[in-house]
Amino acid sequence: MSILAVKDLTIHIGAARPVDGISFDIAAGECFTLLGESGCGKSMTALGIMRLLPAAAQVASGSVSFEGTELLALPESGMRDMRGGGIGMIFQEPATSLNPVLTVGRQIVEALELHGGLQGAAARARAEDLLDQVGIPDPRRRLDEYPFQLSGGLRQRVMIAIALAGAPRLLIADEPTTALDVTIQAQVLDLLDELRRQQGMALLLITHDLGVVARMADRVGVMYAGQLVEEAPRRAFFSQPAHPYSVRLFAALPDAERRGGRLATIPGSVPAADVRHEGCRFAERCCEVMPQCRQAPPPWREVDAMQRVRCFLPGAAPGVAAEVGAGGAAFAAEAKPLLEVADLKVHFPIRRGILRRAVGAVRAVDGMSLQLKPGRTLALVGESGCGKTTAGKAMLQLLRPTAGSVRLDGVELTTRSTSELRPLRAKMQMVFQDPFASLNPRLRIGDIIAEGMQALSVGGGDAAAKVGPLLEQVGLRADMVSRYPHEFSGGQRQRIAIARALAVKPQLLICDEPTSALDVSVQAQILNLLSDLQRELKLAYLFITHNIAVVDYLAHDVAVMYLGRVVERGSADEVLRHPRHPYTQALLAAVPRIDGVGREVVKLAGDMPSPANPPAGCHFHPRCPLADANCQRAYPAETLFGATHAVRCIKAV
C-alpha cells in the first residue's frame, strides 16, 4: 500500500521543464531515494509535492496523492495542515533553514502548536522529548538557545525535530547531509534511519551521493534531466545497474582500485531544462547510443519484477572497464622535498573592548609540519573547521603565518616581504573550491588566464598568445577566450581555474577542495585532468579535501588534520588501510560505502571543539572512544610506525 503516489508530475518554469512527467510510489515506512546530478529536477520534485514551488514555477499536469488525498486539488488551507502534519520536510542547509532570532524551543513549539494542538508547558515538554529523540544532549538547556549557538549537525537535528513535531507519515529530506562533515553525516543518517524504523515513517531522500543511497535506501530512483530513468531496489541497483547513466555514475566514482588509472567520465553535462528532447534524454552523452535513441523517447522496460529502466538497450548496460593506467606518477621518493612546512602556526587574535586588545586567539593552524616531494600528491584531510584551508593559504603566504617556517625549493617564504615573494609566486599556485566564486565575472576568460602571466611577467610578454594552448591543455577550445565565466558550467569553470594556475608554470599546486562543488561525473573529469597534468608536468599537488574516496584515488601521501594539527601522516596505503589514530579510524568508518559493507564502526560523539579554546592534552580526547586520564595531560608526541607513518596518539598501536 503506497503512502505517496506521484503520477506524471510535470513542472514548468516558463519554457523550461525542470520536471517532465515523473511517477513513483512510496510505501509506508519505506525509504525511497531520488538520485541525480544537480539540475536534474530532484529538489523541484520535492517542492512540487509540498506545493512550495517558487512563484515562477507551476505544476502543469500530473497528480500527487498522499494517503489517497489528491494534494494538487487541496485548497491552500488544507495543504497547510498537510505540510508538517502529514508530510515533513528538511532542507540541505541547516544554517539557513532555522530562524536566527527565535530560540530553538520556540521554533519547535510553533510546529507543535500548529500540528499537535499542544500549548504551554505541555508543548515545551514535548519539544524536550523531541530534542532528546533526535539525540541532542541536555535538551532542556538547548531549548532556550538560539540557532547560532548550535553546530551544523545539531542544527540539522533541530530541523529534524521540527519536522517530527507534526508526527508526519512521510519525511522529505532534500540533501540533508550534503552540508555536513562525514562524521556528522553518519550521525544524522543513523538518526533518520532509526526514526524511520521506530515510527514507521516513510522517507523520500534526495541526494547526489551514491554512498548515502547505499546506506539508506530501500528503493532508488535515478533522475536525469527531469525524468526518472531507472527505478530499482537498492540491492539490484548496486549489483546490476541497468541504465547506462547509472553504470557511468558508478564508474565515475574515484576509489583505490582505480588509482593511477583514469576514471570513466560522462562527456558533456546535464542538458538545460528548456531543451526539447526528441528521443532519449541521455542520448547525447551515452556511449551505447543507437539510432533509435534519437528518434523516440524510450519506454519503461522491466528488468525484473522490481527493477525497470528507460532504455532501448536489451539486457543490462555493459559495465565500464576501469582503465588501469601506466601506474601513478610515483616519482623518486628520495628526491629533495619541494615544500617543507615546519611547525606552521596561524592564529587569529580575538579582540575585545574599546581598545581592541587581543584577549585570545583562534588557533586555526597550531603547529603543523609536512613535506611534499616533486611530482607527488599529498592529501590534507579533515573535517570542516580543522584549519586545512587556512593552512593552504598560509603556505602560499596569502595569509601571513603567526609562526613556523614554509620552505619552497629550499627558500624560506615566511620572512620575505610581499615584493620579495612576487618572483616566487610563479612556483606555487592555488585552485579554489568554488568555481563560481573563483573567476571574476567581469573579465573574459582570456584576461583571467593571462592575468598571472602579466603580473609575474611569465611567458615573455605575449601572454594572450599563450592562452589558447593552455585552454586546449585543460580540455577547452582555444576560441573560448573572449567569453565570460557565466557562459560555462561548473566543471568548465574549474578547468579554467586550473588553466589560470598552470599559466605561470608552477611546480606546486594547492588544490582546495577543487571538486566538492561538482557533480560526480564532472568530478571524474577534473580528477582525470589533474592526474594527466601531474604526469605531463611533474606537478606536486597539495590536495585539501574531506572526500576520502578522492584521496584514495589520487593521493600518494596523506596527512590527517584535527583542530589545527596533523594527527596522522603517512603514505596513502598506510593511513587509509591501516589507520592508527582513533580519529582517522572514525573518519574512515563514517564514510558511507557504496558496496554497503560495514566496517568496524567507530562512532564519534559530538562535534569538533572550538579552535579558540582547544581541550587540554590531546585535542581529540573528549570525543575519543579510547581516551583515559593520561590523554588529558599533554599533547601526544609523534610516534613513528615504519619510515613514513607517524601518529600523534599515545594509544596508537
Partner 1 sequence: MSFQIVLLWSDALLFVLIAAIVGLALWARRQDALRAAWGRVLKDGVAMAAATVLAVFVLIGLLDSLHYRARLEAQPGAAARYAVEVNSALDALLSDLRQRGEKTYSAPLATHLFAKEALENSTQREFPRLKHGGAHLGQDLSGHEFDIALRLSRGLAAALAVWLALVALVSRTRKQEFMAVLRVMRSGIPGDGAGNDPKVVQSKATGAVLVALLAILLLFGVALSLGGGYHVFGTDKVGQDVLYLSLKSIRTGLLIGTLTTLVMLPLAVLLGILAGYVGGWVDDLIQYLYTTLSSIPGVLLIAAAVLMMQVIIDTHPQWFATSAERADARLLALCLILGMTSWTGVARLLRGETLKLRELEFVQAAQAFGVGRFAIMRRHILPNLMHIVLIALVMDFSGLVLAEAVLSYVGVGVDPTTISFGTMINTARMELAREPMVWWSLAAAFSFMFALVLAANLFADAVRDAFDPRSST
Tell me the three cell numbers of residue 330. Answer: 610515483
Euclidean distance between CA atoms 501 and 526, whole angstroms: 14
Place of cell 498537510: 82
* Cα angle value 492/497/500 (rounded, 5°): 125
Scanning 22-30, 450-458, 574-582, 633-641 for contacts with partner 1 by CB under 8 A, the matching segment is: 450-458
Task: Give the nearer residue to partner 1 in terms of CB position, either 256 or 421.
Answer: 421
CB-based burial label for 63 (10 Å; 0-12, 13-18, 19+): middle
Under rule CB under 8 A, residue 434 binds partner 1 = yes
Under rule CB under 8 A, residue 429 binds partner 1 = yes
Euclidean distance between CA atoms 32 and 202, whole angstroms: 8
Q: How far is the CB of 390 from partner 1 (least distance, A)?
A: 12
Task: Give the nearer residue to partner 1 in terms of CB position, either 416 or 593.
Answer: 416
The enclosing H or E element of 13 equals strand 2-13
What is the gyration radius of the CA atoms in the chain, in angstroms?
26
Beta bridge partners of 220: 33, 232
Tell me the three cell numbers of residue 206. Answer: 534526495
CA-based nearest residue to 362, from 384, 345, 341: 345
Task: Give the nearer residue to partner 1 in terms of CB position, either 156 or 429.
Answer: 429
Euclidean distance between CA atoms 44 and 49, whole angstroms: 9
Task: Give the nearer residue to partner 1 in terms of CB position, either 141 or 357.
Answer: 357
The enclosing H or E element of 9 equals strand 2-13
Q: How far is the CB of 497 from partner 1 (least distance, A)?
A: 7
Under rule CB under 8 A, residue 452 binds partner 1 = yes
Residue from the set 257, 323, 487, 536 that interacts with partner 1 by CB under 8 A: 487
Under rule CB under 8 A, residue 438 binds partner 1 = yes
Under rule CB under 8 A, residue 502 binds partner 1 = no
Under rule CB under 8 A, residue 439 binds partner 1 = yes
Q: How far is the CB of 481 from partner 1 (least distance, A)?
A: 12
Task: Give the nearer residue to partner 1 in terms of CB position, either 49 or 496.
Answer: 496
Euclidean distance between CA atoms 314 and 301, whole angstroms: 9
Q: How far is the CB of 451 from partner 1 (least distance, A)?
A: 6
Task: Give the nearer residue to partner 1 in terms of CB position, either 346 or 548.
Answer: 346
Q: How far is the CB of 505 from partner 1 (least distance, A)?
A: 12
Place of cell 563514517: 590
Residue from the set 359, 437, 465, 612 that interacts with partner 1 by CB under 8 A: 437
Under rule CB under 8 A, residue 252 binds partner 1 = no
Task: Give the nearer residue to partner 1 in terms of CB position, either 102 or 411.
Answer: 411
Name, in order, each residue with C-beta under 8 angstroms of 205's C-beta and a sequence gap of 6 or more: 31, 32, 33, 34, 173, 176, 192, 212, 213, 216, 217
Number of H helices and number of E strands within the chain? 19, 24
Between the alpha carbon of residue 526 and those of residues 59, 137, 497, the distances in Å are 36, 41, 11
Task: Give the nearer residue to partner 1 in terms of CB position, either 17 or 500.
Answer: 500
Q: List strand residue ranges (DSSP E) for 284-356, in order.
A: 300-302, 308-310, 339-352
Under rule CB under 8 A, residue 70 binds partner 1 = no
Q: How far is the CB of 37 from partner 1 (least distance, A)?
A: 22
Scanning 221-229, 259-267, 480-488, 565-573 for contacts with partner 1 by CB under 8 A, the matching segment is: 480-488
Tell me the three cell numbers of residue 350. Answer: 580575538
Task: Give the nearer residue to partner 1 in terms of CB position, either 292 or 457.
Answer: 457
Scanning 78-86, 93-101, 500-508, 610-618 for contacts with partner 1 by CB under 8 A, the matching segment is: 500-508
Q: Which of residues 365-404 bind partner 1 (CB under 8 A)?
A: 393, 396, 398
Residue from the set 504, 518, 591, 624 that interacts with partner 1 by CB under 8 A: 504
CA-based nearest residue to 572, from 564, 560, 589, 590: 560
Beta bridge partners of 508: 428, 540
Under rule CB under 8 A, residue 146 binds partner 1 = no
Q: How far is the CB of 479 from partner 1 (least distance, A)?
A: 15
What is 593-639 written as a DSSP string?
-TT-------PPPS-PPPTTSPPSSSTTGGG-TT--GGGGTSPPPPE
**Cα-Cα-Cα-Cα dihedral sign, residues 472, 478, 481, 483:** negative
Euclidean distance between CA atoms 396 and 431, whole angstroms: 12
Residue from the set 13, 28, 102, 443 that interacts with partner 1 by CB under 8 A: 443
Task: Give the nearer residue to partner 1 in terms of CB position, either 355 or 653.
Answer: 355
Residue from the set 235, 262, 444, 466 that interacts with partner 1 by CB under 8 A: 444
Residue from the set 331, 484, 635, 641 that interacts with partner 1 by CB under 8 A: 484
Under rule CB under 8 A, residue 486 binds partner 1 = yes
Binding-site ranges for partner 1 (CB under 8 A): 393, 396, 398, 418, 421-422, 425, 428-430, 432-434, 437-444, 448, 451-452, 455-456, 484-487, 497, 500-501, 504
